[in-house]
Structure 1
Amino acid sequence: MIEIISTFARWSQLTANLIVFGSCVFLAIISAQKSVFAADWVGRLEKAFPWLAAIVIVGLLGILATTTSAATGVSSDAWNFSAWLEIVQQTRIGHIWAARELLAILLLVYMLIIRHSPRVRWHYTIGAAVAALPLIAGSLVSHSGAEEISFESITPYALHILLAGMWFGALPAFLLIIHTDRQKSDPAMRRANATYLEQFSTIALPVMLLLALTGVVAADRMIASQYHTLVATAYGWLLNAKLAVLAGILWIAYQARYRWLPVFSQKNDNSRTPQVIAHLRKWVRIEFFMALVLVLLATLLANTLPAKHAIIEHWPYPFRFSIGATWDEKNVPELVWLGVALLAVAISTIWVGAIVDWSRKTRVLVPGILAVIALAIVLPPITIQAYPETYQKPTVPFDAVSISNGSRLFAGHCVNCHGPQGKGTGVVTDPTEKDPTDLLTEPHTARHTVGNIFHWISDGIPGTQMPGFSTSLSEEDRWDLVNFLHALSRGFDARLLGSMIVPEMPAVAAPVFNYSAHDHSGGNLKDFRLQKNVLLVLFSWPQSKERFFQLAAAYERIKDLNTEILAVPIRALTDEELQQIADIVPFPIVTEGWPEIKDTYWLYRRVRAVPDLSGKGMFPGHMEFITDRFGYLRARWVAQFEGYGWQNISALTLQLTQLNQEGEVMPPPGEHAH
């Protein structure tokens, strides 16, 4: 019940606010003609303004009540004034609500002034500005504002709302004009009314185009390129419904602009005029009703979990479309570009049909058939098999503990077929079966979703020796295997790293880990995000002794470059060895968590000159990694394979200096594999 009240409160206050704003914009535009001030419909519209402003105030109170109940988890708090006051005083959403309520009260005051003042054009201009303020403030509690309040995040949503108001809010005035025309058939008044409607229709087209553009920008932020969510989440289906309603509205607007209004505005009445006016009145009423539904859908969308955060537990289709996974296959690029070109031709025929005045049937059939052919060319090549788990998100973070456990599971269950390094070097006894997949050098983890890999690990792959492990491994263990395979693939890609960073081109996320050190420090690698770079030193003892003397001597210099050093042993240290190292170095030596860190970063050991693809793999005795303050591996020095490298401390500090000069090129990587 609370949710229903909340939805109605949000819908009613938004609808009322949009009507006041749009009507004032409409009146400000057409009142350049002084005759409008004498029109009866203007007085009727002005009488509604204070009532609409009051609905905004009451609707906001309803929003506060239901928000309070949801925040406290107590239904009765919806009527508890003290609980309201606490929300308003102690939360950001409460502060924004207070601002919206004050602006709504200001709107009511100004609408009363308009109601009891002589009609002047600038009154409506100011009225539109005042009505816009609660709408703009409302964008601060949109999905965009909920994540971050910045000019870039709020502007598209605020513009979208204002543009919606300019169109939707003028529809009541449109209806009043048509209704007045039916009651009074004075030709002069009809021509004046037709002029007002044509002015509205003229601005409606660019407004609707901009409305669609800002809507695409706002929706894309909520989808974050996860377009499959459009057909598998509540947010996606609501957005599809909103687009369908909008398409119907645009069709009505087109008919009104190019078919009915020209007859309505004719200087001399003809036998068709009353019929056209009745037709126009009927369809504008339908448009207004559809607009109310559109605002309701927008309200529901604003309170639905964004698609980018939705969890798809079960993908309902046996296929999916993926350009990324199919682009390298034969003829796929050519077919895709051919289909896109044909689709562009289909769209252009809509314009051509209007220019050469094709019949209605031809204008529908020609672009429709071309579009169907274009889709028939494009979609089959990019269609691949999908599974119920295809879009499942990992329940286990992509961290060193998970990767290390996955490496042990891989050694126990997968090495016989895939080989110790995942190259697919196992022996296949049945010649009719496919060879084991090369999980190391082939881009499988990049071209398939984590859900696909999880499905194959769980249920196996028909026609191969790959068994399913759903009965022998827990769900968490299977996700650990997925994380290991991603680390394996990313580690192979990391062979392109060297001892010099590539400026402003982060590509490889640094696996996170927890640690404790000999100096009682500890935490997580993410603790350094947005604060410090990290020089991660994987060492063997006593082979790394001379290097430690170098790092110890340069430690203060490195710290001044906003960088911390973490030393990670590649084997267990005795107390005596730990003390020997501690006497040399002033930076933390990891004593807990080192096995998982070692197992994980061992996967990132390869260099271009030594790809290390055969046998069980080599483990260099000393490796160093630079992780920037945003969580990306930016450079690596493998002492055994890459020569002098960072033995020259100036070469190391130069890389750190370059990193410190960079801004946030990419946002920090997420916690899960994708």
Structure 2
Amino acid sequence: MELATLRFVESVLSALAVGLLLLPRLIEEDGARFKKPVAAAAVLRLLLGFGLIVASARNIIPAGRPLDSAALLQFIFGTLIGKAWVATQVLAAVFAAAALLRLRVKNLWLDRATLGLGLAVLAVVSVTGHAVDDSLPIYTQLSFPFHTLAGLTWIGGLLGLVYWMITGRGKPPEEAWRLAERWSLVAKAAMVIVLISGLVLAWETVGSFGFMLATPYGRLLTVKLALLCAALLLALSLARYLTLAGSKKSFDFAWYGKIGGFEGACALGLLFIAGWIATITPAAHETNVYWPLPFRVTWAGTWGLKVTPWIDPTWQWGVAGAALAVVAGLAWFAPALAAAMGFAPLPRLRDWRKYSTSALALAAAVCGTVSLSVQAYPETYTDPPIAYTAASVKRGYETFQANCIACHGVTGEGNGPMAKGLPVAPADLTAPHVATHTLGDIFHWLTYGGQSGVMPAFADTVTEDERWDLINFLTVLSNSNQSRFLSPKGVIQWLVAPNFALDDPKGEIDDVEKLRGVPTLVSFARCKPEEAGFADRVASLNAAAETVKAMGAHHVTDYFGECPADPSALTPSHPDATELTYSLINHYLDEPVVNEIPEGHFLIDRSGYVRARFRHFGTDDGNLALLKAQIALTAKEPIVYVSPHQH
């Protein structure tokens, strides 16, 4: 909180200085009466920057180590954020020097240069926060300075405008009107930049809509958005005043300054939260996840499933919401409809429609939300602490076999030996509906028991890590039905390839995820010379190896028996676990489920999705040509970074 408070004060000083520099330029005023406040704000911001360096160092240096000069120097010159602070302070020092020089020198170009330096100071505020994360995409890193520059310019100009209105009541009303009108244009442009860059940043730092309420970062961002909406409503009233006021000569300094002050208060609250957000973990990387509501809104889990008309509550609430929305629209246009039909307008009809339309719209929104809602739990948006790997899937498979097959069956289709005697049929864990639940929902049911009350709680019999391993297994199992349609012709990106460890003689690549960026063919085979078709299988494996090498793709082989070795291929560290995991998505239509892969090849694209599956490469089946085409296609596609835990 200390660091957030210091950042807030620093930002206010910088923004106010820029606002007082900018506003006079809008109406060609010399701004002489603002020179001292600008200089004072610039110098105070510079001095406060040194305190921020110390506070940032204390926030990063381990608690057990004293913050002495050596530790401070190590932070300043040995960390990226420390170097960013030094660069920011240098720029702030130049800005302060220019602001002080303006007290003695009256020069238009000096004023312009000082304003430019101030804007630069506002822009670089972001590089001392999350923007220094070099793992972020370049468009996100560029969005940070644009977001802070536009936002702080708006806040600084707004505060400066209020200050101008308070201190400039002796000015002609026409001049105040002109300033307000021109500032309105600047504020609108700044808001457009803030909204666009804010959406880009939220996309990268929040991760999902659920994290807006499930994480500290998201909850602060939600409050920030609420304050922004309040500020925009107040800004709308100011803009409406300029549009509807009768005369420029009747400009009301007091009213405009008061409403502007309220907007400024919202802006300051927003700025404080922004400074706070800059010091905490982004929602997308947060491990302290807690969902506070008993429900969540989801399309996939409601209307995305088969909805039965008249009977299903989802359908009933949805239709009610749509009907109320239509009635709200009719109520809003009631005066116009009455006039069009020749009825005399009722004096109170226009006032009545405001309240009725608002009430009906609110009721429609509530009904729509209910129709899209499903039950949720505190763990709903919790992300698994256990990596999504073949080793974890194998452990989850073993836990499933030991605890779940009596009801859910060996294949997870809900057909276990105890299933018929249960009051509620066990869920088919291979069905598409499984993907509509979050992994946190499944963890909750495994821990505390299922929704129907039939499935018992496993908190006392299965450890937490085993439950997450089981969820990783269920993630693969839930894809088994859809994966039957994988073919050599390729599919869209939907199936994330389970990760697994690799043995690399060079020690450079330790798992499949490290191969992303280039298409990878993962080949499985069991070769026994005494079996029929051994020669064909060997020829198929050799053809696959030669094709992959010729196309510049990676090759991973998980072979058992006397299969031909590919010298350029990598091999899994845990071949049994890898084969078991991929056997779950190696199902074919009308064929029994087996946990071994006699021969199978999975093409993984640059982003880590399974895109095609080949059973065999024969001389005349065309599969080699399809493999070449799929490798060439996926090699050109852009990389999409997606969490493997997203269904």
Instruction: Name the SS of the counterpart of 2:522 in structure 1.
Output: strand
Structure 1 CA distance for aligned equivalents of residues 372 and 365 of structure 2: 11
Residues 24-56 of structure 1: CA deviation (Å, up to 9, x unaligned) = 33222211xxxx33xxxx323111222222223
**1:102 partner amino acid:** V
Structure 1 residue 434 and structure 2 residue 434: aligned? no
- Shift of the 304–427 alpha-carbon distance from structure 1 to 2, 3 Å rule, reads same
Determine the structure 2 residue equivalent to 1:90.
78
Determine the structure 2 residue equivalent to 1:305.
281
Aligned partner of 2:471 among 455, 462, 482: 482
**2:604 partner amino acid:** T
Structure 2 CA distance for aligned equivalents of residues 256 and 521 of structure 1: 61
Contact residue 488 and residue 623 of structure 2 kept, 8 A: no
Structure 1 CA distance for aligned equivalents of residues 451 and 137 of structure 2: 51
Determine the structure 2 residue equivalent to 1:454.
443
Contact residue 498 and residue 636 of structure 1 kept, 8 A: yes
**1:179 partner amino acid:** I
Residue 372 of structure 1: CA displacement?
0.8
**1:670 partner amino acid:** S
**1:25 partner amino acid:** L
Structure 2 CA distance for aligned equivalents of residues 148 and 652 of structure 1: 33
Determine the structure 2 residue equivalent to 1:204.
187
Residues 600-646 of structure 1: CA deviation (Å, up to 9, x unaligned) = 11112123xx343x6x647452112222343222221124xx97677
Aligned partner of 2:602 among 622, 625, 628: 625
Structure 2 CA distance for aligned equivalents of residues 315 and 126 of structure 1: 49
Structure 2 CA distance for aligned equivalents of residues 251 and 89 of structure 1: 45
Contact residue 503 and residue 571 of structure 2 kept, 8 A: yes
Structure 2: give runs of 5+ residues left out of the alignment: 336-344
Determine the structure 1 residue equivalent to 2:300.
324
Determine the structure 2 residue equivalent to 1:497.
486
Structure 1 residue 670 and structure 2 residue 635: aligned? no
Give the TM-score normalised by structure 1.
Answer: 0.82
Structure 1 residue 20 and structure 2 residue 14: aligned? no
Contact residue 399 and residue 513 of structure 1 kept, 8 A: yes
Contact residue 519 and residue 634 of structure 2 kept, 8 A: no
Aligned partner of 1:658 among 605, 615, 633: 633
Give the TM-score normalised by structure 2.
Answer: 0.85
Residue 378 of structure 1: CA displacement?
0.5
- Shift of the 48–343 alpha-carbon distance from structure 1 to 2, 3 Å rule, reads farther
**2:369 partner amino acid:** L
Aligned partner of 1:604 among 567, 585, 589: 585
**2:612 partner amino acid:** A
Determine the structure 2 residue equivalent to 1:130.
117
Aligned partner of 1:218 among 166, 178, 201: 201
Aligned partner of 2:552 among 562, 568, 574: 562
Determine the structure 2 residue equivalent to 1:193.
176
Structure 2 CA distance for aligned equivalents of residues 210 and 605 of structure 1: 48
**1:30 partner amino acid:** I
Structure 2 CA distance for aligned equivalents of residues 258 and 193 of structure 1: 16
Aligned partner of 2:391 among 370, 382, 401: 401
Contact residue 381 and residue 439 of structure 2 kept, 8 A: yes
Contact residue 23 and residue 166 of structure 1 kept, 8 A: no
**1:539 partner amino acid:** R
Structure 1 residue 469 and structure 2 residue 472: aligned? no
- Shift of the 351–30 alpha-carbon distance from structure 1 to 2, 3 Å rule, reads farther
Determine the structure 2 residue equivalent to 1:513.
500
Contact residue 181 and residue 190 of structure 1 kept, 8 A: no
**1:322 partner amino acid:** T
Determine the structure 2 residue equivalent to 1:118.
106
Residue 409 of structure 1: CA displacement?
2.1
Structure 1: give runs of 5+ residues left out of the alignment: none
The percent identity for this pair of structures is 25
Structure 2 CA distance for aligned equivalents of residues 495 and 479 of structure 1: 25
**2:408 partner amino acid:** H
Contact residue 36 and residue 103 of structure 2 kept, 8 A: yes
Structure 1 residue 528 and structure 2 residue 515: aligned? yes
CA RMSD of aligned residues (A): 3.8
**1:95 partner amino acid:** K
Structure 1 CA distance for aligned equivalents of residues 186 and 518 of structure 2: 50
Determine the structure 1 residue equivalent to 2:372.
382
Structure 1 CA distance for aligned equivalents of residues 624 and 248 of structure 2: 85
- Shift of the 585–258 alpha-carbon distance from structure 1 to 2, 3 Å rule, reads closer
Contact residue 22 and residue 170 of structure 1 kept, 8 A: yes
Residue 448 of structure 1: CA displacement?
0.5
Structure 2 CA distance for aligned equivalents of residues 362 and 155 of structure 1: 48
Structure 2 CA distance for aligned equivalents of residues 393 and 145 of structure 1: 25
Residue 161 of structure 1: CA displacement?
2.1
Aligned partner of 1:47 among 26, 36, 43: 36
